[in-house]
Amino acid sequence: MDHPSLAAVIASLAGDPLSLVAPPSWSQGRTLYGGMTAALSWAAAAKTFRDLPPLRSVQAAFIGPASGRLTLEPAILRRGKSATTVGVDVHGDAGLAARLTFFCGAARPSKVAHERVTAPAAPVPGDLPAVLKAGQGPTFAANYEIRHVSGGLPFSGGEPEFVMWARLREAEGADPLVSLIALADVLPPASMPVFPEFGVISSLSWSFDLDRRPDDAAAWYLCRAVSESTADGYSRQAMDVWDASGRRVLAGRQTVAIFV
């Protein structure tokens, strides 16, 4: 199986409309991994509209399988004095696969500035064992190094949350922001520690806000996912990502369908 790097996948996005074949090595089950779908969508937006202000917030709806030849269609939804909103529809062989909205806003002077979140205490990644051995986990996970810090492990009966370090294995040539978006969805659903048995999962929606722009595609990030409530076959979770210096770079929420 061909294993293209993140940069190679992004570079293959070409044509009018923009399209590429979903790489199997970045798949999760029968669809492209959600983080990669979002990263590709941002790359398509940035490629189409070169003068966008900094990305601030993202909303993603995962509608169907992103498989086969994918076509990405970016469109300006609104352009204001300091903010621009871009929509991206992703179509696969089975039809509409995802719809994303990117909110971009230029910096402006403000008398208000504070930060009230702190990273959980964690050993450095080099002091921790790898979470997955070769061949374990979903296919896309082989593109990442992942180290367990705290919380339960899948099917362990532990707390429904994960704290783990993660970084892209092959980061050469990758855009740091595209890399961060792809990585921010890397943890398993936080409800998996309380699964009594293996079950299929599917992300339905994902929203996230960016606290700061990353500058290193190869960096380690401390990721936390916490399942806040699970019922009726759906789990709602909060997600945070910090850089190695303890600064939060991304905060998100996700709804996951669980078939257990």
Residue ranges with strand state E in 152-243:
161-168, 200-210, 221-231, 234-243
pLDDT for 97: 98
- Residue 156's pLDDT band (cuts 50, 70, 90): confident
Which domains occur in the chain, in start order? 6-106+122-259 (2.40.160.210)
Q: List b or e across 179-189, with b for residues whose CB sees 16 or more CB atoms inside 10 angstroms.
A: bbbbbbbbbbb
pLDDT for 133: 78
Percent of the chain surpassing pLDDT 70: 100
Percent of the chain surpassing pLDDT 90: 89
Nearest to 160 by CA among 221, 248, 238: 238
193-224: per-residue pLDDT in tens? Answer: 999 998 889 999 999 999 999 999 999 999 99
pTM metric for this prediction:
0.96
Cβ pair 30, 198 in contact under 8 A = no
Strand partners, 167: 145
- For residue 17, say if its preceding peptide bond is cis, omega within 30 degrees of 0: yes
Question: In the predicted model, what is the mean pLDDT of the chain?
Answer: 95
